[in-house]
Structure 1
């Protein structure tokens, strides 16, 4: 049986993944008067550069011998995935600001872009997964999983899913929601860094964003590979989020007034 607490935390994560991005988007557009287009472009960039470009490309590369050699070395593989994630998403942000939002290069629209980007990621990575987990959990507890969904899945996959849902600590399902909250903040910060690149015509800020993105992804994946406690990992991510929040707040006046050097005091 899947515990009631696990199912409850699945619902919490589901609510976070859908309602938090929507609430943030409404706030930034209605209260701060950002453009809805900025939110939509942020979401579009994630969809184009991750869902329909990077992820299918990585899947195609699995047929290539050289890529299989990379996959056989966990450290090179983590580095490769981290760098490509940063490269695709940050270059995507740059193109989004430069060509789709060139008349909306102010702080509030940079924040709106980040909300859209992080929001779509939350819905794609966590929202749909939470829905599946909830449905599967009710089917397991109702005794119909094996004869319905389980029988349609490849051999062993149904048993694996069932085992994971039953045996994973309940808090693991809550951790996904916490991580998505943190990640939205990080996406806002990355979006503002790239906005600086476009507004000041200094591509070095895109490079900074790519490197920071790759470093954060690689660090967290490495810690999970080492089987660190999930809440310690989330705490480390939370520390990065605090730095990101300081950056977000400090960047407002500098972006809108476009002062010289960009330094957080």
Structure 2
């Protein structure tokens, strides 16, 4: 039985708490400071569930299962698959935003509504999906650290898999789970910005804003993965993870600029036409 790295366990615990509590804080801020309604927050969360949890993600898991050997054997196929994953993420999620503002939220088309929608959308992803995966990661760390394959009746290939998994955990830097929490903060800014951009489809009557959001979403996903993989291949896992989060930082800063810019646009429009909502 190997000793559990208490720093790694603590790191996971902090990351899980952040994944759950951060979106709660953002939603409450949007409610109290901006006046965003629970309806837009709820539809934002529902849009993520409909576009990812109940549709795209199950299909992706099935496809990856059947292609698992081919993806390991071909770097070209892997690159194409990353492109497909990135594009479908953009199409599914941005179409869900578009539909929400077209139908159930047709009377909620102000900047604050887009912010509330993005907070709900990114919040469910952070608390349920990413937080849930972090919980599973913590359980794996604790269980595998306590597991001694020599005491179990395992086939040789199964024992080898357990040994490999234990080695992976042993090589994991204790602060790695915190990068996931940091990524959720950046992703929240991206989700809010994309919601603001999709809203322009209705405020300006131009469909190109929807396609801008799809392209930005797909590019963000693809660049984060590709940069991380290239950096990992060149300098190792630690630097690869940091490089990927560097891309998240760039995307988050650009997203904050987009959010602030369109708030100023709305304020300028309302100063010209005070009765316009």
TM-score, with structure 2 as normaliser:
0.81
Deviation at 1:11, TM superposition (A): 1.2
Among residues 172, 179, 204, which one is paired with 1:175 in the alignment? 179
Gaps of 5+ in 2: 233-239, 273-277
2:101 paired residue number: 97
1:207 aligns with 2:211: yes
- The verdict on how the C-alpha distance between 1:206 and 1:4 changes in structure 2, with shifts beyond 3 A counting, is same
Partner in structure 1 of residue 237 of structure 2: none
Q: Which residue of 2 aligns with 1:243?
A: 254
Is there any run of 5+ residues in structure 1 with no aligned partner, and where?
261-265
RMSD value, Cα = 3.0
CA shift digits 1:89-128 (9 cap, x unpaired): 1111100111111111111110011111111111233211
Structure 2 partner of 1:263: none
Aligned counterparts of 2:139 and 2:62: Cα–Cα separation in 1 = 31
Shift of the 254–145 alpha-carbon distance from structure 1 to 2, 3 Å rule, reads: farther
1:225 corresponds in structure 2 to 229
Give the C-alpha shift of residue 30 in structure 1: 2.0
**What is the match of residue 8 of structure 2?**
6
Contact in 2 for aligned 1:133/1:165 (Cα 8 Å): no
Q: State the partner residue of 2:235.
A: none
Deviation at 1:6, TM superposition (A): 1.1
Distance 1:71 1:232 in 2: 20
Contact 1:18 1:127 in 2 (8 A): yes
Name the SS for the 1:168 alignment partner.
coil
The corresponding residue for 2:236 is none
Residues 80-229 of structure 1: pairs in structure 2 closer than 5 A: 80-141=84-145, 158-228=162-232, 229=240
Q: Secondary structure at the match of 1:34?
A: coil
Q: State how far apart, in whole Å, the 1-side matches of 2:149 and 2:128 are.
A: 24
Deviation (angstroms), 1:240: 2.0
In structure 1, distance between residues paired with 2:132 and 2:150: 21
1 CA distance for matches of 2:250 and 2:213?
Answer: 18
Alpha-carbon separation, structure 2, partners of 1:79 and 1:135: 31
Which of these residues, 54, 57, 66, is aligned with residue 56 of structure 2? 54
Q: Report the CA distance shift for 1:158/1:18 in structure 2 as closer, same or farther (over 3 A).
A: farther
Q: Secondary structure at the match of 2:34?
A: coil
Relative to structure 1, is the Cα distance of residues 3 and 47 closer, same or farther in structure 2, using a 3 angstrom cutoff?
same
Q: Would you say 1:37 and 2:39 are equivalent positions?
A: yes
**Structure 1 pair 185/166, CA: closer, same or farther in 2 (3 Å)?**
same
